[in-house]
A and B are shown apart, each in its own frame.
Chain A
Amino acid sequence: MSISPSVVFPASETDVIFELRCEEDETVRPLAGGTGLALLARYGFLQPTRLVSLRNMREKLGQISIPQPGALRIGAMVTLTELARSPLVRAAADVLAGAAGLVANVRVRNVACLGGHLAHADPHMDLPPVLLALDARVEISGPCGVRWSSIDDLISGYYETTLGQQELITAVEVPVAPGRRAVYRRYASATADDWPSVTVTAAIEARDGRVAEPRITVGAVTTSPLRLRAAEALLDGVALADGNRLEAACKEAVDAAGETVRPGSDIHGSAAYKREMLRVHTARALASLFTRARSEDRR
């Protein structure tokens, strides 16, 4: 942290949005948990002149609820620990609770909020690809009112979002599909607490004994979370009871995944290794998804 910013503590959403206004020579950011912001400031990537603390919004933006049947609403200031432990989330979208419990470490999860997690747009973050696979929508408040965005419209690149300067993520809504099954797999190539080199989320619903609404998303290997639509299409409509056909479809989906994604080389592995890990973990995610009897694979 270098030059000390000023900090304001607005008490309403309208005030927050107002305080987020920014002159040309200023850098203004919302401060929720602040874990991501602290790192950006420490390493000199950000030198905020004003911080807009969201402390007073905790009550309003920190709720998890079912506003109407079929919709799970998670306030932007819900912490990752709250998300991981919430009985509502576990019941409606267990894969999300599970993934939330794996982000960074427990001390960070106790403080970091969902809104900040999404706004940070670090490609190695666990939740954006999971939310993408669940067809989540992000509620965004701004000077002109409220708008909604999909995850892949929100996160546009490496630490980049489409949020405007005076826009604030206020909630995430996840459609609840009673028959949906989903798995999240996270592979870290070095130590257990490392950022993942690849993540795969796979979700399906069942309709008339066939695969419906297949979703396969990947994280960490591309600069923003990616849906593998070509791979998904290969699974769509396959009969769940037809073991051979299902296995073949999964193989094809894995191949499609390997073809579609162009990972970059970085400290977590070469492009070739990451592509192979993407294939392996897509295969394992699908196998886990389709085999009820098997217990969760080791990491």
Chain B
Amino acid sequence: MTSSCTTISFTLNGRAVEALVRNDETLLELLRREFGLYGARESCGQGVCGTCTVEVGGMPVSSCIYWAVQLDGAEVTTIEALSRDGALDPVQQAFIDAGGFQCGFCTPGMIMMCRVLLRDNPEPSDDEIRRWLSGSICRCGAYPEIINAVHAAAATLRDKSDAGR
């Protein structure tokens, strides 16, 4: 008895959810089709541009080549989790202040990547930022502003954690 669909249970932006997925469906298709989360988008379709970036288990992945059927028990976080209570995440605010986007299509993916970077490396250098983002494409060419946004966000997060002491 073979089935081409599977029911999966996982955590999405902190909520327990269940979904019936086609076995060849990608995480990206699932997020958009089933959950109406449009922050992650399909662009290159090959995992190289980063427009579809979401976190699985706290790690950024290319959701357009991630098999949804393997998500059972996983923790998925998308851009929509960042501003749920109305306030913007410091990285999001930094992107606004620095003008780190133009058309905005790559922006959620960029922001997700930058948050992970700052989590692991609170004071990255220009080179470290460029290397980390070398797989996240911005055709509008907003790279200089994105780098500025990361530095600004790093400073904000540092101030916040200093203030918290």
Asked if A and B form a direct contact in the complex, defined as CB atoms under 8 angstroms apart, the reply is yes
Binds B, one of A47-55, A86-94, A197-205, A273-281: A47-55
Q: Which residues of A contact B64 (CB under 8 A)?
A: 38
Question: Judging by beta carbons under 8 Å apart, are A42 and B45 in contact?
Answer: yes
Q: Which residues of B contact A261 (CB under 8 A)?
A: none
CB distance from A62 to the nearest CB of B (A): 13
Question: Judging by beta carbons under 8 Å apart, are A106 and B67 in contact?
Answer: no
Residue A193 interfacial (CB < 8 Å): yes
Contact of A7 among B26, B61, B65, B69 (CB under 8 A): B69
Q: Given A1-B26, A6-B3, A193 and B134 touching (CB < 8 A)?
A: yes
Question: Judging by beta carbons under 8 Å apart, are A105 and B48 in contact?
Answer: yes
10 more contacts with CB within 8 A, not counting A35-B47, A106-B60, are A2-B24, A5-B24, A31-B70, A34-B65, A41-B24, A42-B46, A51-B69, A107-B135, A108-B65, A111-B56
Q: Which residues of A contact B23 (CB under 8 A)?
A: 4-7, 51
Determine the distance from Cα of A32 to Cα of B45 in the docked complex, in whole angstroms. Answer: 19
Q: Which residues of B contact A31 (CB under 8 A)?
A: 67, 70
Contact of A39 among B24, B56, B65, B66 (CB under 8 A): B65
Residue of B whose beta carbon sits closest to that of A81: B59
CB distance from A286 to the nearest CB of B (A): 26
- Give the residues from 99 to 120 in chain B that come closer than 8 angstroms, CB to CB, to chain A: 113
Residue of B whose beta carbon sits closest to that of A42: B45
Q: Which residues of B contact A41 (CB under 8 A)?
A: 24
**Chain A residues proximal to chain B, CB less than 8 Å:** 1-7, 31, 34-35, 37-39, 41-42, 50-51, 53, 55, 81, 104-108, 110-111, 192-193
Q: Which residues of B contact A104 (CB under 8 A)?
A: 47-48, 135
Question: Judging by beta carbons under 8 Å apart, are A111 and B48 in contact?
Answer: no
Please encode chain B, from 24 to 46, with 1 for each CB lying within 8 Å of some chain A CB and 0 for all others.
11100000000000000000011
Q: Which residues of A contact B48 (CB under 8 A)?
A: 104-105, 193
Question: Judging by beta carbons under 8 Å apart, are A110 and B61 in contact?
Answer: yes
Q: Which residues of B contact A39 (CB under 8 A)?
A: 46-47, 65
Contact of A50 among B2, B47, B59 (CB under 8 A): B2
Contact of A106 among B2, B26, B45, B135 (CB under 8 A): B135
Determine the distance from Cα of A1 to Cα of B113 in the docked complex, in whole angstroms. Answer: 26
Determine the distance from Cα of A106 to Cα of B113 in the docked complex, in whole angstroms. Answer: 10
Contact of B135 among A4, A38, A81, A105 (CB under 8 A): A105
Determine the distance from Cα of A42 to Cα of B69 in the docked complex, in whole angstroms. Answer: 16
CB distance from A115 to the nearest CB of B (A): 15
CB distance from B136 to the nearest CB of A (A): 8
Residue B78 interfacial (CB < 8 Å): no
Determine the distance from Cα of A50 to Cα of B47 in the docked complex, in whole angstroms. Answer: 23
Q: Which residues of B contact A55 (CB under 8 A)?
A: 70, 72
Question: Judging by beta carbons under 8 Å apart, are B70 and A34 in contact?
Answer: yes
Determine the distance from Cα of A37 to Cα of B45 in the docked complex, in whole angstroms. Answer: 13
Question: Judging by beta carbons under 8 Å apart, are B4 and A193 in contact?
Answer: no
Q: Which residues of A contact B24 (CB under 8 A)?
A: 1-5, 41
Question: Judging by beta carbons under 8 Å apart, are B61 and A105 in contact?
Answer: no
Residue B50 interfacial (CB < 8 Å): yes
CB distance from B164 to the nearest CB of A (A): 28
Q: Given A53-B70, A105-B135, A4 and B4 touching (CB < 8 A)?
A: yes
Determine the distance from Cα of A130 to Cα of B159 in the docked complex, in whole angstroms. Answer: 43
Q: Which residues of B contact A4 (CB under 8 A)?
A: 4-5, 22-25
Q: Which residues of A contact B72 (CB under 8 A)?
A: 55
In the A-B complex, the 5 residue pairs with the smallest Cβ-Cβ separation, listed nearest first, are A105-B135, A4-B4, A6-B2, A1-B24, A38-B65
Q: Given A1-B25, A42-B45, A50-B2, A106 and B132 touching (CB < 8 A)?
A: yes
Determine the distance from Cα of A37 to Cα of B3 in the docked complex, in whole angstroms. Answer: 20
Residue of B whose beta carbon sits closest to that of A48: B24
Determine the distance from Cα of A6 to Cα of B23 in the docked complex, in whole angstroms. Answer: 7
Residue of A whose beta carbon sits closest to that of B29: A1
Question: Judging by beta carbons under 8 Å apart, are A107 and B60 in contact?
Answer: yes
Determine the distance from Cα of A37 to Cα of B26 in the docked complex, in whole angstroms. Answer: 12
Determine the distance from Cα of A38 to Cα of B70 in the docked complex, in whole angstroms. Answer: 13
Determine the distance from Cα of A50 to Cα of B1 in the docked complex, in whole angstroms. Answer: 12
Determine the distance from Cα of A76 to Cα of B65 in the docked complex, in whole angstroms. Answer: 20
Residue B92 interfacial (CB < 8 Å): no
Determine the distance from Cα of A42 to Cα of B53 in the docked complex, in whole angstroms. Answer: 18
